[in-house]
Chain A
Amino acid sequence: MLIESHDPNFVVNNLLLIVMGKLLTPKAAILLRDEKNADMYVASSKGRTGLDTNTRFQCPPDICPIDKPIYEIDEISNIMPEQVQQSGLKLFFTIRTSTEHLGYLCIAPKIGKGEYPAEELNFIENLVIISAVALSNSMLVSRLKAANRELDQKVQELNTLFDISREFNSMVDRSQMLNVFRFTLMGQMFVRRFFFLMRLEGKPQIVTQHGLKGQVSPEVKGDLLNMETEYIEVSQMENPPEFLTQNEIFALVRVSFQDERAVLGISKRANNAAYTQSDYSFLISLGNLAFLSIQKTFLLESRIEKERMEEELTIARTIQNMLFPSPIPKPKPFDIAAINVPSRQVGGDYYDVLCADDKQLYLAIADVTGKGIPASLLMANLQAMLHVLSPLDLDLAATTGKINNIIFKNTPSDKFISFFWGRIELSSMSFEYCNAGHNPPVYWNAGKKKIELLSSGGMLLGALETMMPYESGTIDLHEGDIVIMFTDGISEAMNEDDREFGEERIAELLDEYHDKTAAEIQRIILDEVKAFCKGNYGDDITMLLFKVGPL
């Protein structure tokens, strides 16, 4: 029976019981060597030896004597610890096979302090020889079983990683993903409490957890993310945060990808089994997988968001285009050209040409500070006002003051509009204008063959409430006269030496090319600007110009 058993404990226990029963021995124990740890342990102990099963003690393998079948305690006291020497065990039978020294069977003197007769010792010697083979075999079997189980656990870990990565790949929903991660972690590691901390939108946040109580401050979360080792057990930390100790978090595992980091905190296993190096490696792999998959969802979201924004901007651009006059009214004798090129999809520049009752022609140009959507909203606001006001034939300067007050109320203090507008009475060809802080338009006076700048007006719209009334200027238009209105995208276009194109250059071009049509002059100026800044327009570009034809 001894020989057939594959259970080392069974062999050990039976050996002891047989010996004690046959020989009337009051106490006995079996000490086994552990080659791997180079020590010895109490495999079993019966009677009052004072030795606890599984107690381990040092036993350097090279000094263990094995030559004799039986040793007295005095002969081997040098390798036996105090506990064994005090145990009352006296005779030590060497348990060995032909290749292996397994340990010792130790017995106390017979009840009544009698000596063991020689034939009894002989019997035990033989019994020990037989048992040694059985013990050796059964120990081999249990080592194989342990190795097998370890292998099964590895396979299970791999299956788990495979299962979860397949699932993550098919998912885009973050909360589902975190849920699957939660179950997988708890199931595989046999834990009931954990948390997963990562930085989201700049803030450290616990993205999923189970069984945790209490709040944790952002500072503590930030500190945890800065942990220096791949993993650490909380008991080894110098001053572990209360959050960890209160929730019985046992270990922290760091996960990192490029500059991003996450931390996984886990409690002890529900059966208190220790974590091995291999468990920590698994946790790092699992954490990495979850971390990357979660980050992927954010990238995906921001891409979707970006696409949505782009689509909206395209629609906004279409709407803004409809706010510009099309076609541009061109009542006789006017030759009019205009262009708007926003530097982004939508812009803050504005021009308009309105013909009221075929009696008056309004021309306007404006530049909202800033670019993009905020500027385009204000531009739309201004456009609406002009379209309502222009048919009413109001006083130009006073109306500018009213517009300023409305813009001032409608806008934050850092948003302004530079604005120029003018009204031509088609019957008299008188051009009244008001310049609210805009780059002065350039006026070519064909009769005098000279350039003038149209600057009468007042300050920018939206900066302050109207205190000083705006002024207006008036010129009488004649055949050949040209007025060019533009925004600072043209006058302030920069070359490589950081020099601006300048209003003077526009005046020079006008001096040279005033015989050309409005469209030609516009083309010439735009080409010059483009060549000057090598196509690097820093701002929205807008120009509106008219030339007076034969009356």
Chain B
Amino acid sequence: MSQFDIYQRQYQSVEILELNGELDAHTAPVLEQHITQLIKNEKYKIVVNFSSLDYISSAGLGVFMAYIEDLRERGGDIKLTNMKENVFNVFDLLGFPTLYDILDEESQAISRFNNPTT
């Protein structure tokens, strides 16, 4: 079975989810649970840090798809950072860069939340 963990941190008004291991059909519900919990707690600014994520499947991408509209309608967003190349390739192949902010560093994502115009 695939290994997957999420470490959750907070920086100012931004919630940071650090993904570890493999995000696939089996582990996608874990990520979903974290995101729905954040929405329930009215935390709409989310940065997902992929630095320790080794693998992602389409089901993992689907979780981001399922909540992006919800979050944006509430003035928030999900920004994705620190992807390994193989993980980024999957996002890229399926067209995600057109809809999501995908950034090299977590700090860039945080400053974009704080300064939406830059």
Contacts and interface: CB of A to CB of B under 8 A. Distances in A.
B63 interface: yes
B24 A187 contact: no
A180 B95 CA distance: 20
Interface stretch (A104-112, A156-164, A505-513): A156-164
A380 B113 CA distance: 74
B98 interface: yes
A152 B89 contact: yes
A166 interface: yes
A210 B66 CA distance: 7
Sort chain B's interface into a size bin: 20 to 34
A163 B23 CA distance: 11
Which interface residue of B25, B61, B98 has the most chain A CB atoms within 10 A? B25
Interface string B60-103: 11111110110000000000000000000110011110110000
Contacts of A273: 95
A183 B99 contact: no
A278 interface: no
Interface stretch (B3-11, B26-34, B37-45): B26-34
B58 interface: yes
A54 to B, nearest CB: 19
A187 B98 contact: no
Interface stretch (A44-52, A65-73, A188-196, A362-370): A188-196
Contacts of A269: 95
B57 interface: yes
B14 interface: no
Contacts of A176: 29
Nearest to B65: A186
B25 A159 contact: no
A163 B58 contact: yes
A164 B64 CA distance: 17
A188 B61 contact: yes
B71 to A, nearest CB: 12
A179 interface: yes
A299 interface: no
B66 A183 contact: yes
Given A179-B29, A183-B28, A163 B59 contact: yes
Interface residues of A, number: 30
A44 to B, nearest CB: 24
Interface string A511-547: 0000000000000000000000000000000000000
B57 A149 contact: no
Given A163-B24, A211-B69, A183 B63 contact: yes
B26 A167 contact: yes
Given A167-B25, A167-B26, A190-B94, A160 B69 contact: no
Contact of B65 (A152, A164, A190): A190
A183 B94 CA distance: 14
Interface in A463-514: none
A153 interface: yes
Interface in A65-115: none
Given A163-B25, A167-B25, A187-B59, A182 B99 contact: no
A421 B114 CA distance: 92
Given A164-B25, A271-B99, A187 B93 contact: no
A339 to B, nearest CB: 58
A179 B30 CA distance: 12
B57 A180 contact: no
A190 B66 contact: no
A136 B6 CA distance: 49
A160 to B, nearest CB: 4
A184 interface: yes
A154 B26 CA distance: 21
A192 B69 contact: yes
B29 A187 contact: no
A270 interface: yes
A184 B29 contact: no
Most chain A CB inside 10 Å of its own CB: which residue of B57, B58, B93: B58
B98 A271 contact: yes
Given A163-B25, A163-B57, A192-B69, A184 B62 contact: yes
Contact of A190 (B24, B29, B69, B96): B96
Given A179-B29, A186-B62, A187-B65, 17 more contacts: A149-B93, A156-B94, A160-B59, A167-B25, A167-B59, A170-B26, A179-B32, A183-B62, A184-B58, A185-B62, A186-B66, A187-B57, A187-B58, A187-B62, A187-B63, A271-B95, A271-B98
Interface of B: 24-26, 28-29, 32, 57-66, 68-69, 89-90, 93-96, 98-99
16 contacts: A152-B93, A160-B57, A163-B25, A163-B58, A163-B59, A167-B26, A170-B26, A179-B29, A183-B32, A185-B62, A186-B65, A187-B58, A187-B63, A188-B61, A210-B66, A211-B69
